[in-house]
Chain A
Amino acid sequence: MGLKARLELVALALFFFFGLVLRYPALLLLGIPLAVHLVVGLSLVPPAPSRLLLAEREVSRQRLAEGEVLEVGVKVVNQGRRPLEVIVEDALQPGWEMVSGERRAARSLQPKEALELRYAARVRRGLYQLSEVLVEVRDPLGLAPWRGTLPCPAKVVAFPRWEKLLRLNVPPNRTLIAAGTAPARRGGEGVEFFGVREFRPGDEVRRLNWKALARTGELVVTEFAEERAAEVAVILDVRAKAYQVHDGNALLDHAARAAAALAQHHLRLGHRVGLLQYGAYLDWVLPGYGRRHGEKLLWELARARLGESEVFADLSHLPTRLLPAGSLILFVSPLLLGDEETLGRLVARGYRVVSVMPDPASAERGEVTEGPETDLALRILELERWALLRRLHKAGVTVVVWDVRRPLSPLLRTLRPMLRRVR
Chain B
Amino acid sequence: MIAFLTALVPALAGWWASGFPLNPLWALVLIAPATWVIGLALGWRRLVALGFAANLALAAALAVTAGAVPALTVISLALFAWDLSDAWMALRRVPRKERRLLLGRVALRSALVAGASWGLGWSFTTFRFRLPFWGLVGIMALSWGLFYLLLRSIRGIYFGGEARGKRSKSPPMA
Residues of A at under 8 Å CB distance from B?
A: 1, 3-5, 7, 9, 11-13, 15-16, 20, 23-27, 29-30, 32-38, 40-42, 45, 47-48, 50, 85, 87, 89, 102, 104-108, 136, 138, 140-142, 144-146
Contact = CB atoms under 8 A, between A and B. Distances in A.
B94 interface: yes
A142 B71 contact: no
A141 B113 contact: yes
Nearest to B68: A26
A141 B110 contact: yes
B136 A30 contact: no
Given A29-B68, A140-B109, 7 more contacts: A4-B86, A24-B64, A29-B71, A33-B76, A33-B118, A42-B150, A104-B93
B87 interface: yes
B138 to A, nearest CB: 11
Contacts of A24: 63-64
10 contacts: A9-B150, A9-B151, A11-B53, A20-B139, A24-B63, A29-B72, A30-B71, A33-B72, A102-B95, A107-B102
Contacts, number: 141
Query: For chain B, what secondary structure do more than half of its interface residues adopt (helix, strand, loop), or is it mixed?
Result: helix
A118 B154 CA distance: 36
B160 A105 contact: no
Given A30-B59, A33-B79, A7 B52 contact: yes
A145 B86 CA distance: 11
Given A29-B72, A29-B121, A29-B125, A106 B98 contact: yes
Contacts of B160: 47-48, 50, 146
A34 B79 contact: yes
A3 B52 CA distance: 12
B72 A38 contact: no
B82 A4 contact: yes
A266 B82 CA distance: 66
Contacts of B95: 102, 104-105
Contact of A20 (B67, B94, B140, B153): B140
Contact of A34 (B45, B75, B102, B151): B75
B134 interface: no
Contacts of A30: 56, 59-60, 63, 68, 71-72, 75, 121
B120 interface: yes
A47 B162 CA distance: 11
Interface of B: 45-46, 49, 52-53, 56, 59-60, 63-64, 67-68, 71-72, 75-76, 79, 82-83, 86-87, 90-91, 93-95, 98-99, 102, 105-106, 109-110, 113-114, 116-118, 120-121, 124-125, 131, 136, 139-140, 143, 147, 150-151, 153-155, 157-158, 160-162
B171 to A, nearest CB: 29
B102 A108 contact: yes
Contacts of A32: 72, 117, 120-121, 124
Nearest to B147: A13
Given A16-B143, A29-B124, A34-B79, A3 B64 contact: no
A87 B150 contact: no
B45 A3 contact: yes
B110 A7 contact: no
A47 B161 contact: yes
Contacts of B49: 3-4, 7
A3 B46 contact: yes
Contacts of A41: 113
Contacts of A89: 93
B64 to A, nearest CB: 7
B79 A87 contact: no
A29 B126 CA distance: 11
Contacts of A12: 147
B161 A142 contact: no
A2 to B, nearest CB: 8
Contact of A25 (B53, B68, B87, B113): B68
Nearest to A33: B117
Contacts of B98: 105-107
B83 A142 contact: yes
A50 B157 CA distance: 12
Contact of B158 (A1, A7, A33): A1
